[in-house]
A and B are shown apart, each in its own frame.
Chain A
């Protein structure tokens, strides 16, 4: 069975500071990995995904994540936070053959302060 652990249910950063949201996964086979963002009262929007190839993945809005197999991690980073980044972020994992069946973490709420 797959699982995802997101360390830190709430993260607060200053505008312009580095954003680091942590995600560790458990999977018996090489997984696909995803980060989604959810703004209040909205659905989920895909930020980025890792399927195969380059382990450093770039997504929308300046976010990127690096797949580290040895650490079973897929942390999300952004060099400089913007007020508009304040939202809930979810890490998710799936099997390669059934990529549309996602197992999500519990989410990290990102707060950006002036």
Chain B
């Protein structure tokens, strides 16, 4: 049984560009949540996907968008990158939205120059 994986590990972009981050959920998990962790801060909830539909969103602008695929893997897309978007982006999967057992991936480190 594989855990949660994320790609790429690191990414460098310039302001105004667009980026796509990918996450493969743990086997059997249909719920994927995305978090942004700025340097020195705790993770902040971006949004969650459950069975290919968005299932809740945190306080992030619409330029942060996502997808979930039939195999429950997920993408996070960020348009019009800003310097403050530089952060570690974490993906987590769980069996259900109500599941308290959530497994995190290693994260993607995004640097915006």
The residues of A with any CB-CB pair to B shorter than 8 Å are 4, 32, 34, 36, 41-46, 49, 51, 90, 92, 94, 96-107
Could you write out 22 A-B pairs with CB less than 8 Å apart? A32-B100, A36-B104, A42-B107, A43-B104, A43-B106, A44-B90, A44-B104, A45-B104, A49-B100, A92-B42, A96-B98, A98-B97, A99-B97, A100-B33, A100-B100, A101-B48, A104-B35, A104-B42, A104-B44, A106-B42, A107-B40, A107-B42
Q: Closest residue to A34 on the B side, CB-wise? A: B100
**Residues on the A chain within 8 Å of B100, using CB:** 32, 34, 49, 51, 94, 99-100
Is A101 within 8 A of B41, CB to CB? no
Is B56 positioned at the interface, with any CB of A under 8 Å from its CB? yes
Question: B70-110 toward A: CB 8 Å interface, digit per residue (1/0)?
Answer: 00000000000000000000101010111111111111000
Q: Do residues A43 and B107 form an inter-chain contact, with CB atoms below 8 A?
A: yes
Bound-state CA distance A105–B35 (Å) is 13
B106:A101 contact, CB within 8 angstroms: no
Contact between B43 and A101, CB atoms less than 8 A apart: no
Q: Which of A36, A46, A49, A103 sits near B45, CB closer than 8 Å?
A: A103
* B31 CB within 8 Å of chain A: yes
Let me know if B94 and A100 touch, CB within 8 A. yes
Q: Which residues of B contact A (CB under 8 A)?
A: 4, 31, 33, 35, 40-45, 48, 56, 90, 92, 94, 96-107
Which residues of A sit under 8 angstroms from B107, Cβ to Cβ?
42-43
Cβ–Cβ < 8 Å partners of A46 in chain B: 101-103
Query: Does the CB pair A90–B42 fall under 8 Å?
Result: yes
Given known pairs A49-B100, A105-B42, A106-B41, the reply for A100 and B106 (CB within 8 Å) is no
Given A98-B56, A100-B94, the answer on whether A42 and B106 have CB atoms closer than 8 Å is: yes
Taking A44-B90, A101-B56 as known contacts, 16 extra A-B pairs with beta carbons closer than 8 A to each other, sorted by chain A number, are A41-B106, A43-B105, A44-B92, A92-B42, A100-B33, A100-B92, A100-B94, A100-B99, A100-B100, A101-B45, A101-B48, A101-B97, A102-B43, A102-B102, A104-B42, A106-B41
Name the B residues within 8 Å of A43 (CB-CB): 4, 90, 104-107
